[in-house]
Structure 1
Amino acid sequence: MFTKIKCLFVLLAIIAISASGKEKYPPLRVGCSIGFNAVDYNRLKTMKEAGIDCIEISLGAGIFTNKEKSDEEITARMKSARQAADSAGIEIWSIHMPFGKEIDLSQSDETIRQSTVALQRRILRFCKILQPRVILFHPSWYLGLNERPKRIAQLLRSVNELNPLVKEAGAIMVIENMLGHELLRNEKYERPLCRTVEEVELIMKQMPSDVYSAIDMNHIDNPERLIEAMGNRVKTLHVSDGNGRAECHYMPNPCSGKGDNDWNQIQQELYNADYTGPFMYEVNSKEYSEPRELYECYQNLYRTFIESIPQKQ
């Protein structure tokens, strides 16, 4: 009898702690990255029914540089995407701006940098139609050898030129950390800017205070350290697992068995940073068969985190 009573008290204590945990650490909404060409009502409706509340739309440069596409056609496509999201009840949380060797905000060649900024300005005018809360930029492509200080200065110039247009679109600008476990990619190239916690801190300290941080959990070992360093400057996420050494984009380890991220610690640091944005997945589409798996994976991660709280306190 004593054992049964003791077990009952333990169970009630766990329930009470879980309830207080959820009050202190409310669950996040679940989001998913999606390519612009994949945005249609039926797909978004399926995602919404699976528990996905918001999306990040990844834009390629092609639609904006194709001379056969008129501004009217691009505008119509943007309006169609906006209508599809509204009809499905999904929020367009963020836009992932185009990136690449020729679309590099840190280009040391000033003519190329200005051309890049001009293209991004053009894209931002169309982004207004999508009404995102967040617009995400890569800080650079790969760098030449020994040019990081110059590239940082060029990135800052580009950010200062583009940030006013981001705000005109009703959004905030965020800069993503990049994969860079080693400085050198090969004998010709260095890894992109924002490759370590220390470099992200160095660069972000020079940014305008209303430019924020996007944390890619696949790009760095121990992403919780970067979340802690950025604090309340963290405004959006790219959620996936990996080893910090390759573009793995696995589902989080408890759901896939791959990757080495500490998801309890990651969630703790997100709450410490007062993060209230979505748990925005950016995982390889081969990692799951239906969007419900994304929602269920987060619920599993969140439940495990809440249950771990007694051991931390």
Structure 2
Amino acid sequence: MAPLKIGYGLGIGNFTPEKLQYAKSVGITYVEASGMSTFLDGNRNFKLSDEAIVKKLTDAKKAADAAGIKVWSVHMPFGQNIDLSFINEADRQDVVAKHIKLINFLKILEPEVILFHPSYYLGLNERDMRKSQLIKSAIELDEAVRGISATMVIENMLGPELMASNGKERPLMRTVEETQEIFARLPKTIYSAIDMNHIKNPEKLIIAMGDRLKTVHIADGTGAAENHFFPCSGEGKNDWNAILAALDKVGYTGPFMYESAFKDEKDLATCYQTLYNNYSNSK
């Protein structure tokens, strides 16, 4: 497997020429734009005028272009009130409408990928209904995403057990089986994003998704909590040789996109090189 390009998640408010030029100088070629709460609050209200959103995104794109960094993906907003699987149809339609409005602005960044969470925490015994609502939303959003020449992806969520401590059910796509089941019902134009912190043995999900895998979130963890440890910190339990072997097997060519703690951007490429060398030497 040829080495992958390196990327990392960066809040849209941090897209400064200095930050991006430094990232590029230490081996980063891609970013995932996060922090969409800059534009949309937790109650689905836009916080800025259309003009202000356009200016912020245009400035971000200019800074990335000047640094020679490509916006690979955008992490769409999510939360208790921003849930694609809402059972209440008026709420679900409003979530989709707000996402579509944002997607049409995001065209400015020319992203390859638009990433969504499948749901937030769920009430009890409504999982099947939530899956159907998610699929309805995804079909509508896929059209908008393809309209800006990007690919829609949905991310697997943390769910070591069905029930969370808050008395609710864990979000959708919490297991390999559930992720497979939902993807079998989605249009083939919608792809998988795999978060290496959200599931124990992520290599199993990578193999299960196969050529449906489009992008990754790189972090270490235990599959039991939102740790997002730095992969070279020794804090998590992921088997990186198994993960790189799985990425190799399914022919993954996207960026090695970090969504983890780190001290300095220069550590990201160094860490990947270590993981890559370990994997190459293990074969």
Short-chain TM bin: over 0.9
SS class of match (1:98): coil
What does the per-residue CA deviation read over 1:234-287, in whole Å, with 9 as the maximum and x for residues that have no partner? 1100000000000000111xx211111110110011011110000000002xxx
C-alpha change, 1:46 and 1:191, in structure 2 (3 Å) is same
Larger radius of gyration: 1
Counterpart position of 1:63: 39
Query: Structure 1 residue 51 and structure 2 residue 30: aligned?
Result: no
Report how far residue 72 of structure 1 moved: 1.0
Structure 1 segments unaligned to the other structure (5+ residues): 1-24
Amino acid at match of 1:141: Y
Query: Structure 1 residue 80 and structure 2 residue 80: aligned?
Result: no
What TM-score do the two structures reach when normalised by structure 2? Answer: 0.97
Counterpart position of 1:269: 246
1:114 to 83, 89, 93: 93
Counterpart position of 2:191: 212
2:160 to 157, 181, 185: 181
Number of residue equivalences: 280
Amino acid at match of 1:301: L
What does the per-residue CA deviation read over 1:204-223, in whole Å, with 9 as the maximum and x for residues that have no partner? 00000010000000000000
Report how far residue 61 of structure 1 moved: 3.3
Counterpart position of 2:281: 307
Amino acid at match of 1:55: V
C-alpha change, 1:128 and 1:307, in structure 2 (3 Å) is same
Identity %: 50
Higher helix residue share: 1
Counterpart position of 1:26: 2
SS class of match (2:36): coil
Amino acid at match of 1:265: A
Q: After the TM superposition, list the runs of 4 or more consecutive aligned residues in structure 1 that deviate by more than 3 angstroms.
A: 64-68
Query: Structure 1 residue 249 and structure 2 residue 217: aligned?
Result: no
CA distance in 1, matches of 2:184, 2:153: 13
CA distance in 2, matches of 1:40, 1:184: 41
Counterpart position of 1:40: 16
Report how far residue 39 of structure 1 moved: 1.1
Counterpart position of 1:294: 268
Amino acid at match of 2:86: Q
Are the equivalent residues in 1 in contact too, given 2:23–2:265 (CA < 8 A)?
yes
Are the equivalent residues in 2 in contact too, given 1:218–1:239 (CA < 8 A)?
yes
Are the equivalent residues in 1 in contact too, given 2:39–2:47 (CA < 8 A)?
no
SS class of match (1:194): coil
Amino acid at match of 2:168: Y
What does the per-residue CA deviation read over 1:53-84, in whole Å, with 9 as the maximum and x for residues that have no partner? 10000132342456662111110111111110
Counterpart position of 1:201: 180
Query: Structure 1 residue 147 and structure 2 residue 121: aligned?
Result: no
C-alpha change, 1:67 and 1:296, in structure 2 (3 Å) is closer
What TM-score do the two structures reach when normalised by structure 1? Answer: 0.88
SS class of match (1:174): strand
User: What is the CA RMSD across the aligned residues, in angstroms?
Assistant: 1.1
C-alpha change, 1:306 and 1:88, in structure 2 (3 Å) is same
Report how far residue 187 of structure 1 moved: 6.2
Query: Structure 1 residue 97 and structure 2 residue 73: aligned?
Result: no
Are the equivalent residues in 1 in contact too, given 2:211–2:250 (CA < 8 A)?
yes
Are the equivalent residues in 2 in contact too, given 1:59–1:95 (CA < 8 A)?
no
